[in-house]
Chain A
Amino acid sequence: MNILFALATGIMFAMGVFQLLRRDLIKAGMGFYILFTAINLLFLAVGAYNGSVPAYVDASSRPAGQPSDPLVQALILTAIVISFGSYALLLGLIAVSSRRFKTVDSDELDQLKG
């Protein structure tokens, strides 16, 4: 289970970094979101480190095994809200700038140079 989490986080991180470094701002924005999802997965892995059984269930129907940590899921919820908000804001800014500067190529957005 742990190796699965590690692999998934690593692959998503690599994808995110690759996308983030592209010149197209929209693709870079996607990379931004993929990176945050990778972090959420990392948080989940941190909590499920000890077990993958839900923390709050009826004592009679509780499956065998060690309960997982509920706090990280609350953290992930907060992180998802924040990353979603910043992603929406980022796409909005890119939309406005594509109209204002007539480009979504990050190399052409260089009027602040100098």
Chain B
Amino acid sequence: MPNVLLIGPIFIPLAFAALGVTLSRYRTLQHGFGLIGGVLAWLSSIGVLLENLQGNILTYRLGGWPPPFGIVLVGDLLASVFAVMATTVVAAGILYALGCKDKCVRYPAFMPLFLAMGAGLNGALYTGDIFTLFVFIELMVITSVILVAISDNRLGLEAAIKYLFISAMGTLFLLIGIAALYATFGTLNMADIGRLLANDQRPLLAQAAAVLLMCAFLLKSAVFPFHFWQPDFHTTAPTPIGSMLSSVVVKVGIYGLIRMMTLMFTAEAPLIQELLIILGIIGIFFGSLGALRTYDAKRLLAYSTFGQIGFILVGIGWGTAAALSGALVYAVNHAFVKSSLLMITGVVSSRTMTKTARLSEIGGAGKALAVTSGLYFLGGLALAGVPPLNGFVSKVALARGGISAGHWLALGLVVGAGVITVLYMFRTWQWIFQQPPAGELKLKPVGDSPLAPALLIGLCVLLGLYAAPLLDIAARTVSQLSNPQLYIRAVLGG
């Protein structure tokens, strides 16, 4: 039964988190089991994707209850693409944590929380039930808040409080939206809601629910009016956590938006898309210009995430098949690039005495680290979209989408803003790795291990040279999304 594979990415990390709690006295053993859990989750998510590529949509009924009543896990191509991305980055993050010299990584609660965050992430992607989506998102939020609050950076606590308040408001909107949907249709199953919305005339309450869900998802992705918590939260996090938050956790909102527009609110989608183009372009410029005037290497990458999410939103907003698959490719590639860049910055800043990422203090710190410098250079090229790296593939895929949509103004702005990425990535690379340090620079002999970012950068290069499989999967995902009946029939049967 391939359907059982679906519970792997969610329940394997949870089981290993529980095991980690019992092993809290034996740190090496706990961390080793954490890595095993991450890798097993990665393998099972790949298994689901391979099964999907055969043309099946997997469903797993929790407790055996039939779908409109019970909770059902659904693995279609969209969920699988995002989940493979998430589990890959989370497994790399656990690997980084094993070689991390931060104090907080040695706390007994660190690894169980990290695994639970991964489980919440995968659960939010695979669930077919909108209330369970809320539960998994809350699991993800609470674990990430704790992980940032215990950060070595003493300001992590302030960022954590801020984020807990703001994201709680986001989930509040999600809950009101769920209540509105339940009041209208009497069901929480997303496929069932999609079926009823397709047949019914559209009640006002359902349209209100669309707005509320959209607000919640935009807040999770830190899109323009709801973005202000993001740079603080992603900068003060411990390096292994920050690289998860800035790459895959923000994609949950993107996933929610795509799912909501293609499955449930297909009639409202054109209106939402117009809004997304505007918000995306604001995000691109705000994020890129913010990155340009930031003098902290991690904060710069957090601002850059804000800009890159804008590119993805514009792709979704164009709405043609080519543009949507471009946005998917962009989302996947950005996750690998951004997590590896944040890890490399962490590697450099872990060598300094104060563990800061301020450019004034780590400027020149990377001059002795040849391998790290090369990795950062490749990552910068990938983020800026220079061939033959994966960033180029995603930029081209997105531009092709813009041409197919014929949205010339937005396309011009998007391509023009891409140039700013080159500016800020190279300024930073030069500052950290090329110029001589200002004054005496004392460095620790050992820092974090650069193994995990090296693997991710290798993946970026591979995805740049052999881009065809990812592009093919994205195209097939979009063709599956364009026919929501496939999803509905797979879940509800008949």
Contact = CB atoms under 8 A, between A and B. Distances in A.
Interface of A: 20, 25, 28, 32, 35-36, 39, 42-43, 46, 49, 69, 71-72, 75, 78-79, 82, 85-86, 89-90, 93-94, 96-97, 100-101, 109, 111-112
A96 B157 contact: yes
B204 to A, nearest CB: 15
Given A35-B172, A78-B135, 4 more contacts: A32-B168, A35-B169, A86-B141, A90-B168
Contacts of A112: 155, 158-159, 162, 232, 236
Contacts of B138: 82, 86
Given A89-B142, A90-B164, A78 B172 contact: no
A39 B172 contact: yes
A78 B135 CA distance: 8
Given A39-B176, A86-B138, A111-B155, A78 B161 contact: no
Interface in B264-314: none
B172 A42 contact: no
B212 to A, nearest CB: 11
B426 interface: no
Given A101-B158, A112-B159, A42 B232 contact: no
B389 to A, nearest CB: 33
B326 to A, nearest CB: 35
A93 B149 contact: yes
A75 to B, nearest CB: 6
Interface string B145-169: 1100100001101111110110011
27 contacts: A28-B165, A32-B168, A35-B172, A36-B168, A39-B172, A42-B176, A43-B182, A46-B183, A71-B188, A72-B182, A82-B135, A85-B142, A86-B142, A89-B145, A89-B146, A90-B161, A90-B164, A93-B145, A93-B160, A93-B164, A96-B157, A97-B158, A97-B161, A101-B157, A101-B158, A109-B161, A112-B232
A64 B302 CA distance: 59
Contacts of B236: 112
B451 interface: no
Given A78-B131, A93-B149, A25 B161 contact: yes
Contact of A93 (B157, B186, B188): B157
A100 B164 contact: no
Task: Name the 3 nearest CB pairs between A and B, nearest first.
Answer: A46-B183, A112-B232, A82-B138
A100 B154 contact: yes
Interface in B190-226: none
B73 to A, nearest CB: 17
A28 B162 CA distance: 11
B486 interface: no
B175 interface: yes
Contact of A49 (B158, B160, B183): B183
B156 to A, nearest CB: 10
A39 B176 CA distance: 7
A30 to B, nearest CB: 12
A80 B422 CA distance: 47
A22 to B, nearest CB: 12
Among A71, A78, A93, the most chain B Cβ lie within 10 Å of the Cβ of: A93
Contact of B175 (A20, A39, A94, A111): A39
